[in-house]
Structure 1
């Protein structure tokens, strides 16, 4: 990990130490509503577990080249695909209001289905509605070939969500072949490539009908294509709907009674039924869920869960959470526990405080939490013993060094490496080594790596050392402390099924899925870090042909493996400087992702061959593991960055958001200072990596 690190900014940096104590590193989770979980009140009306996952938006808004049909706008940010489930739904609850965009009261009170030609004039004005009509005709008649720039028309900015929802729905109902996209508060339209592809299979009338049916979101209705006697053609239509709308729609073929002799059949489309939970029994669906905020000090998340489970008399798998937090820190995060009431949690509040745990904000929840169901994390960090690098100019000002470093990273961002805690900081065997053994399906070796002891003679290492020397699972289980949940689960399975291949398989399966996949992801993260360093050394900060970039979305769902989210940069893109470096993404290895089409392709292949994974399909059937892969942005940015000098308990110099105070403010001496930093990061971005870029040293 350390050898792979490449600098992004050109400032000098400074030295300092972090995590002198747990209180020097405070981490607070940001929920999907953008709230700090420590601020959630007990009387929350909205259940945080049911909010759709969205990422924090990056601060910078790179410049964008105006395309044909596009009107210049004061809001010059990257375009992002409209989330129809968000804005379109809002159209049904539009209220009368006067807007900056000139929306009339009658337009806002119109029902969504009625918003067609005349409503567009009310929403946009007659001149822009006419321009939209002309654009729609032109775009439909001159469909761009693959790789050619698509014509885009800007409809202006709309400050209210309800306004945007009304415009989106009106445009789509009037011109189903157009795609509406939103960039902050600006709405743009262009030809929908999915519509164009469908028109290669069916008539325009049928394509119009399907897209209007899709936008109506009327789950009680159905849509049918024309009778079709060609089985292969019907198969192609089925595949089209499944490929692009499979999570929302389902298709079935029914024989046409009037033409059964000719073998005609009709494809019927309907919305899929909503399923509240996958494989749960009916009685489990009624199980109570309770959400709470967990604050822990100097403790691993899994150990905290094991402690809570023991206190409550439940199993650790009854708990769910959005992510694992740092060990040497004070962390706050939302957790949800099944089959435990609020009163039962209240009963243990006092007893667990002696174990450096605190639970509060107790409230009812409707379901469990998913890993990644958060916007990000907020960090409050104290860097102690701040000083200049030894090789730095002795005449240089420490204050200027700190100011330049923080402002540089605040503006330019940092390389979005996975942090060392992803792999097991300071451990003899890191998580990526275990993940590599699992991918090779060498389960026995992976288990021995899992039990490799660290230095020291504490009870955990004594137990691990005993197992490595004797392979006696029963005695090792007696030696292993109760709070080591993972180790004890594995040892119980080995004691029951033996130490052979079957026993090792059962042992790994005894761990919850998210624990098993964690080791695989650690290996893939290591490959991603190395790939980023190779890319930066090979191409620097230039966007080159073959790079993968974010398509229509300003924010990329890092858990997504959908190749339609990314675009392969062409020579024409490079020549016209269409994309900037902040939009470049690199893939995490997996079986369902697209690799870059430049020197990185060979690099990924060589890296997998080096590790003996040339034949790996990133599936381990014996352990029920599938690794599809995903895309991760090359760069990340700290947000809401605040920094100030500290001396003991007293703030000497503070200037929030814009730097240090000037004029009469007292500046710190050149050595022995403490610096306070606070900022937020997107989920899956690491504060230690951000600090390393700021300070330009290993921390």
Structure 2
């Protein structure tokens, strides 16, 4: 499938080591690196709250306490004095709620008594709940009534920050599935979680997650399956968005090598350090089957052929589950929404979401409404896959032209400014500085021969660059830039002896363990392709 999505070129011509990846989850470890360069992992640290401001509050004098009891009665007076005592003792957020008297004069008497003899306290009548709230006035001098009570707009307790951030460790789960499990365990909608990126399914992964701070207690007491853990909670002023990461740290074991010559392996890896690898979008970007590759769905969306897009998503593909396979065949044969909802297994989340949207819409634009029932991120995933497909094709052509910088190439600086190389300045840069655009409405194209490939690939698919300008705002593809060659950082390796399954206990296999860092959106499998070759099996 690699060549079908434009993955064809290597930076070196040499014998590669072959091998297999992801035979076990523990063979593929991924740890997110945040924007500050910190690696996501659960350290076991206790939750550290922000330091609260200390407030000095004077106690109510005995004389004033006596007058309070005289004015509003012993029972209510004692409750108010007890509240004042708790606040003076440091429980600054303590609140006393009492039934609001029907008589306005009685309510006024309570408020005036507190104001005159207990100035440390403030009171207000809440008509909606027919209560009088009494609380510390010292904490509320510059806030409105809701802020005085330290409540948010939903009446929930405020926290030092709007969000909390924590680390999620998972095994044999993709990120979307893990968040659904976490949401079900806590009663929190999975859409409420913020992430910087999606992590591999068949791997041991660690990544940062954000949620509203009011969910802290639910998350800390969540009962999760053995292949999921969360921890290292801390307050955060911002929510994580896709792309809010520096990159990922990988620790990977390669098994079943076809070349076990350590000197050759060392030479390959040293070359990888120096030259890097072609920064293709990996096969994960395009799905796991030719029949429903995500970029073909993206193309259908760009041409506004939503029926074709839905048919590719719901249609036949190579699957092991017999019920799912039958449902896919029957969808193409009958296009019966009710039947499909009965036949598609519950784990087919995307398919069932589309079908539910179609059933809800009835006959009015059913297919379009079914597709739009997907989250925006899911819909954009398909469109981005088509951009990635085009980018891979152009990158292969550009590297066939030369692995040196050329006039007309594009470079991008740290401030994201893009400029053209000229015959005069191209010698000041290397192939590692060159970027190519993902097609969109707001990007520059190279001015050398690589530019023609964009037009050629798009025209073969029946669209043009103008197509990206005509998209509705909700599906806008403005485009972006991506380096065509990347070097892994902090690359180390060692040979390891590995015990294999289904063999004698004394039998071992020779393998290689590599560790390295990659920037966000670069693929470890594509990096290792440079030393393993095209034939490696990514299980």
Same structural fold, with TM-score higher than 0.5 when normalized by the shorter chain: yes
Structure 1 residue 648: deviation in Å? Answer: 3.0
Aligned pair in 2 of structure 1 residues 479, 333: CA closer, same or farther (>3 Å)? farther
- Conserved? CA contact 1:9–1:414, under 8 Å: no
- Conserved? CA contact 2:44–2:231, under 8 Å: no
| Matched residue, 2:189 | 315
| Matched residue, 1:449 | 312
| Matched residue, 1:375 | 246
Distance 1:499 1:381 in 2: 50
Structure 1 residue 517: deviation in Å? Answer: 0.9
Please give the per-residue CA displacement for 1:171-197, whole angstroms capped at 9, x wherever unaligned. xxxxxxxxxxxxxxxxxxxxxxxxxxx
- Conserved? CA contact 1:387–1:398, under 8 Å: no
Distance 1:649 1:34 in 2: 35
Distance 1:373 1:41 in 2: 24
Matches within 5 A, 1:135-154: none
Check if 1:35 corresponds to 2:38. yes
**Residue number among 631, 635, 648 corresponding to 2:498 in the alignment:** 648
Please give the per-residue CA displacement for 1:535-563, whole angstroms capped at 9, x wherever unaligned. 1112x112111111224x3xx76xxxxxx
Matches within 5 A, 1:249-398: 289-338=163-212, 341-349=215-223, 351-353=224-226, 356-388=227-259, 398=261
Structure 1 residue 295: deviation in Å? Answer: 1.7
Please give the per-residue CA displacement for 1:619-676, whole angstroms capped at 9, x wherever unaligned. 57568110000110111111111211111379xxxxxxxxxxxxxxxxxxxx941111
| Matched residue, 1:476 | 340
Structure 1 residue ranges without an equivalent (≥5) = 48-280, 389-396, 558-564, 651-670
| Matched residue, 2:2 | 2
TM normalised by structure 1 equals 0.56
Matches within 5 A, 1:8-407: 8-39=11-42, 42=45, 289-338=163-212, 341-349=215-223, 351-353=224-226, 356-388=227-259, 398-407=261-270
Structure 2 residue ranges without an equivalent (≥5) = 51-151, 501-507
Structure 1 residue 340: deviation in Å? Answer: 5.7
**Residue number among 436, 440, 450 corresponding to 1:590 in the alignment:** 440
Please give the per-residue CA displacement for 1:179-238, whole angstroms capped at 9, x wherever unaligned. xxxxxxxxxxxxxxxxxxxxxxxxxxxxxxxxxxxxxxxxxxxxxxxxxxxxxxxxxxxx
Aligned pair in 2 of structure 1 residues 369, 589: CA closer, same or farther (>3 Å)? same
Distance 2:358 2:247 in 1: 38
Distance 2:276 2:155 in 1: 45
**Residue number among 423, 428, 439 corresponding to 1:578 in the alignment:** 428
The DSSP-based 3-state class of the residue aligned with 1:363 is: strand
Structure 1 residue 282: deviation in Å? Answer: 6.3
The DSSP-based 3-state class of the residue aligned with 1:506 is: helix
| Matched residue, 2:331 | 467
Structure 1 residue 504: deviation in Å? Answer: 2.1
Please give the per-residue CA displacement for 1:488-539, whole angstroms capped at 9, x wherever unaligned. 3222110111366x2222222222221111111111001111101101112x
- Conserved? CA contact 1:42–1:363, under 8 Å: no
Distance 2:250 2:238 in 1: 28
| Matched residue, 2:405 | 543
Structure 1 residue 429: deviation in Å? Answer: 0.8
Aligned residues: 421
The DSSP-based 3-state class of the residue aligned with 2:381 is: helix
Aligned pair in 2 of structure 1 residues 386, 583: CA closer, same or farther (>3 Å)? same
Aligned pair in 2 of structure 1 residues 378, 284: CA closer, same or farther (>3 Å)? farther
TM normalised by structure 2 equals 0.72
Distance 1:421 1:284 in 2: 44
**Residue number among 500, 511, 515 corresponding to 2:378 in the alignment:** 515
Distance 2:171 2:327 in 1: 25
Distance 1:625 1:610 in 2: 22
Aligned pair in 2 of structure 1 residues 472, 27: CA closer, same or farther (>3 Å)? same
Distance 1:526 1:621 in 2: 19
Matches within 5 A, 1:465-504: 465-498=329-362, 502-504=365-367
**RMSD over aligned Cα, in angstroms?**
2.8
- Conserved? CA contact 1:582–1:634, under 8 Å: yes
Structure 1 residue 462: deviation in Å? Answer: 4.1
The DSSP-based 3-state class of the residue aligned with 1:523 is: helix
Please give the per-residue CA displacement for 1:336-365, whole angstroms capped at 9, x wherever unaligned. 23476222113223x422xx2222223333
Which has the higher Rg, Structure 1 or Structure 2?
2
The DSSP-based 3-state class of the residue aligned with 1:517 is: helix
Structure 1 residue 15: deviation in Å? Answer: 1.7
